[in-house]
Structure 1
Amino acid sequence: MQTVELQYPLQNVEPNAGPQVLAIGDFDGVHLGHQEVIHRAVQRGAELHVPAAIMTFHPHPRQMLGMDTYTKIITPLAAKQTLLRELRVNTTYIVNFSESFMHLTPEQFVENILIPLNVNSVFVGFDFRFGHKGAGTPDTLCELAKGRFAVEIVRQFSLQGRKVSSTLVREHLLRGEVREAMSLLGRPYLLRGTVVHGEARGRTIGFPTANIRVSEPYIIPANGVYAVEARVGDRLYGGVMNIGVKPTFESDLAEPTLEVHLFDFSQDIYGEEVAVSLIEFIREERKFTSVQELIAQIASDADKARSIVRERKSVQNS
């Protein structure tokens, strides 16, 4: 997959480039609804024998609009690019969502962005908005195309009667409902970060943990204990993760920490990158009256997480 960064006004677009199919959206989460839009574009590209491309935006438009809830996102840019590559698009255009781009009218977006890209067909979701203050709708896009390119509007994608959306994924994650989020994403929610030194307290109580410092502004799910799978290098390990402020030992942590105990693992991985997939919420974080009570609970959590991971592997292999 080729990645092309675009600034407005466009400077690095080949004037004689061949036609292409384009799917447009912020695609935060690359959830099942987003995947439907992208799959349709890839399929149309194959039918027309032309490349299929994606246009997405960075920073997230809602971050630029000052929406506090979007200081953290589901798929930071690097993670989004990885997922888009897996969807077999030929090119990803990453548009710098700058002040000047933000103030484009719908007409300017079409004339100064889409037409220079020589789009043959444009795929958007039914709730797509573009142009200054979201003035443009899919119907607006159809009108502005003026027969120069086709517009395909992908209808709402629903599961169990609810619209699949980035907002709904966020709500599930912030409540710790990672299994529900997984059903909307089509995969487990993933956090990627670096193993850093902690207090080594887990090692002293028989459950050594890797302390993960996330590398991007991910949404951190609700505090609690989760069954997880973690990729270290090229190997996948089951594990149990605690997200929280360690109330049994601490009283003033401002931000939650992420600690993962990996099963059947004893390597030194300080400084290495780890990708943690959250499989299922086990319990809320709570304060214990003694270290012995905490140890017993961790052992129970680990047993439950092992069972969850084992069952997941069994289903995948069946």
Structure 2
Amino acid sequence: MSKLQVKKLKFGKHNFQQVIQPQVLVAGFFDGVHLGHQSVIKTGVRLARTKNMPVSVLTFDRHPALVYSPQPPAYYQYLSPLQRKLELLDNLGVDRVYIAEFNPDFAHLRPQSFVEQFLIPLHLDTLVAGFDWTFGPKTQANMETLRQLAQGRFTVLKVPKLQFDQQKISSTHIRQFLKTHQIAAANLMLNYNYQNSGVVVHGFHRGRRLGFPTANLDIPLEQLIPAIGVYVTRVRVGQDWYPAMTSIGRNVTFNHGNNPLTVEANLLDFQGDLYGQTMKIEWLKYLRKEIKFANASELIQQMQQDQLQTQKYFQKV
């Protein structure tokens, strides 16, 4: 059972008391909690353990881009929405997460005020962050200026850049991989299998009529899903994982105009009713692009091949 504590902070509301026990604080937005983020967080966890202190993470409730350049919430799609991020942070051994509301007042907070009003009350022993972390305009509030603003009241530890195949490990690169079918590369940078979650809803029931019943996942717009295509996946139902082949697409063989994008998972070894259940899906391997077939018979033949490739994938792992 998780022991992770979650506390929300709001600028100007003074809704948190001065922390008495000194702690190590790891700061960052951490979308995806990828290998680079994990390096920063694990540095903080190790330091806290050697000092016999709790380790906390300071993050935000939304991406700063949504405040600096106001857009509809669906404009920014997350690799790890808040609940998923908390799960990943918990797995890394974090004791507490502070979620600051990133509103316009917070966005325009002067760097010195951020230190005095947000950091000092948290009784930091050390603040740990990545080499490129900023908390305001980059020319005013980077890791170098933070040391000056701290005035010796806490230590600032900068974690260097982590690279993979001569590329900086970043959320931006992972997004590019997911949008170009490079699932293996994305999972390597994440150090885990990329995941979405959603509720199983009713579709057109074509898969059942074709002999390949599917779970149609309603994935919230805030979650980034991989590019259109057919994938090897595994799906969690309750506490159990099942091998599956999953299509992201617009059902182009049955074209009735501009079909909505769907995510449909065919679970290989499952019998039962999934409607209304929340499922997690992990993306493991890209199989092929979406194809418009001449008829249902051709589609069935291709799905049989997809199923065979999916079975072979799981036989090897």
Please identify, of 140-149 and 14-23, the stretch whose mean Cα deviation from structure 2 is larger: 14-23
Q: How does 1:277-316 map to 2 (within 5 A)?
A: 277-312=282-317
Is 1:32 aligned to residue 30 of structure 2? no
Q: How does 1:156-167 map to 2 (within 5 A)?
A: 156-167=161-172
- Secondary structure of the equivalent of 1:120? strand
2-structure distance, mates of 1:237, 1:198: 21
The aligned residue for residue 44 of structure 1 is 47
1-structure distance, mates of 2:107, 2:145: 17
Which of the residues 90, 94, 107 maps onto 2:95? 90
Deviation of residue 216 (structure 1)? 5.6
1-structure distance, mates of 2:139, 2:299: 51
**C-alpha spacing 1:216/1:48, structure 2 compared with 1 (3 Å):** farther
Is 1:154 aligned to residue 163 of structure 2? no
Aligned residues: 312
- Secondary structure of the equivalent of 2:141? coil
Deviation of residue 109 (structure 1)? 1.1
Is 1:263 aligned to residue 268 of structure 2? yes
Which of the residues 230, 233, 238 maps onto 1:228? 233
Q: How does 1:12-91 map to 2 (within 5 A)?
A: 12-66=15-69, 71-91=76-96
Q: How does 1:177-188 map to 2 (within 5 A)?
A: 177-188=182-193
1-structure distance, mates of 2:167, 2:79: 19
Is the CA contact 1:224–1:281 (under 8 Å) kept in the aligned structure 2? Answer: yes
RMSD after superposition: 1.5
- Secondary structure of the equivalent of 2:252? coil
Deviation of residue 171 (structure 1)? 0.6
Deviations 1:236-260 (A, max 9, x none): 1000000010100024335410000
Q: TM-score, structure 1 length as denominator?
A: 0.95
Is the CA contact 1:109–1:131 (under 8 Å) kept in the aligned structure 2? Answer: no
Is the CA contact 2:19–2:122 (under 8 Å) kept in the aligned structure 1? Answer: no
Letter in 1 for 2:190: L
Please identify, of 231-240 and 66-75, the stretch whose mean Cα deviation from structure 2 is larger: 66-75
The aligned residue for residue 125 of structure 1 is 130
Deviation of residue 220 (structure 1)? 1.5
- Secondary structure of the equivalent of 1:173? helix
The aligned residue for residue 104 of structure 1 is 109
- Secondary structure of the equivalent of 1:274? strand
Please identify, of 243-252 and 89-98, the stretch whose mean Cα deviation from structure 2 is larger: 243-252
- Secondary structure of the equivalent of 2:114? helix
2-structure distance, mates of 1:103, 1:306: 53
1-structure distance, mates of 2:158, 2:217: 41
2-structure distance, mates of 1:242, 1:67: 33
2-structure distance, mates of 1:40, 1:16: 22
Deviations 1:161-218 (A, max 9, x none): 1100000011111112111100000011101000000111101111000000014611
Is the CA contact 1:224–1:243 (under 8 Å) kept in the aligned structure 2? Answer: yes
- Secondary structure of the equivalent of 2:269? coil
Deviations 1:40-73 (A, max 9, x none): 0011110111100001111111222238695211
Is the CA contact 1:103–1:132 (under 8 Å) kept in the aligned structure 2? Answer: no
Deviation of residue 145 (structure 1)? 1.2
Deviations 1:96-134 (A, max 9, x none): 001110001111111111001111100111111112567
User: Quick one: percent identity of the two aligned structures?
Assistant: 37
Letter in 1 for 2:42: H
Q: 5+ unaligned residues in a row in structure 1: which ranges? A: 313-318
The aligned residue for residue 6 of structure 2 is 3
Letter in 1 for 2:141: G
2-structure distance, mates of 1:182, 1:165: 12
Please identify, of 295-304 and 132-141, the stretch whose mean Cα deviation from structure 2 is larger: 132-141
Letter in 2 for 1:179: A
